[in-house]
Chains A and B, each alone.
Chain A
Amino acid sequence: DIVLTQTPLSSPVTLGQPASISCRSSQSLVHSDGNTYLSWLQQRPGQPPRLLIYKISNRFSGVPDRFSGSGAGTDFTLKISRVEAEDVGVYYCMQATQNPATFGRGTKVEIK
């Protein structure tokens, strides 16, 4: 199975400041169809997960442009340009390139 390693596991951030989360895969996430099925999900307290970014860098419908994704192959990053109070929660990377799909352990973003 593909292992996704997220760092950091916790990220205290000052409001208005940037935040960055890394996701490293144990294998290349490039699918045979040429796509890289790496997504980023946000889970606010008490809520189900919500898709933010898919295929590395595509923002999902309704996602603010302060969220951006980048990377290739085995190394990926989610960036929040200016953290707002509503961004508090746990962020997961997920790969669906290979079955079984797998998730990172999650990064908790909280306000300092």
Chain B
Amino acid sequence: QVQLVESGGGVVQPGGSLRLSCAASGFTFSSYPMHWVRQAPGKGLAWVSIISFDGNNRYYADSVKGRFTISRDNSKNTLYLEMSSLRPEDTAVYYCARDYISDYWGQGTLVTVSS
């Protein structure tokens, strides 16, 4: 069965960095584009970034452009999100999701940016 498991969240100070991972299993990872979506506490869903199946195309929300980098390692079936220059407003649960239609989601990993 399809599984997506995020990890790497935690508490970080403003201006700090963090790398999130999303381990995929149960499907041919290298065939699907992948998203990162976040949800601030008590708020709605906000799209963060998408990467094509081969990693050659990447898009970012304006709010994270220049600070976040999405990547993937198809040999390890893993999606990444490198986050730098973190701000308090980046505090959220970060989800990875499969495909343009976001048919499968992970459980999420919480990132808290606070001094």
Q: Which A residues lie at the B interface, using CB under 8 A? A: 37, 39, 41, 43, 48-51, 54-55, 60, 90, 92, 94, 96, 99-106
Contacts and interface: CB of A to CB of B under 8 A. Distances in A.
13 contacts: A37-B100, A37-B101, A39-B101, A41-B45, A48-B105, A48-B107, A49-B45, A54-B103, A60-B103, A92-B45, A101-B50, A101-B100, A104-B44
Interface of B: 35, 37, 44-47, 50, 59-62, 95, 97, 100-108
A54 B101 contact: yes
A93 to B, nearest CB: 10
Contact of B44 (A37, A39, A100, A103): A103
Given A48-B95, A48-B108, A49-B95, A102 B103 contact: no
Nearest to A38: B101
Contacts of A49: 37, 45, 95, 97, 102, 105
Given A37-B100, A48-B95, A96-B100, A101 B105 contact: no
A85 B47 CA distance: 29
Contacts of A106: 44-45
Nearest to B103: A51
B47 A102 contact: yes
Given A37-B100, A54-B103, A103 B46 contact: yes
Contacts of A50: 105
A54 B97 CA distance: 14
B37 to A, nearest CB: 8
B90 to A, nearest CB: 16
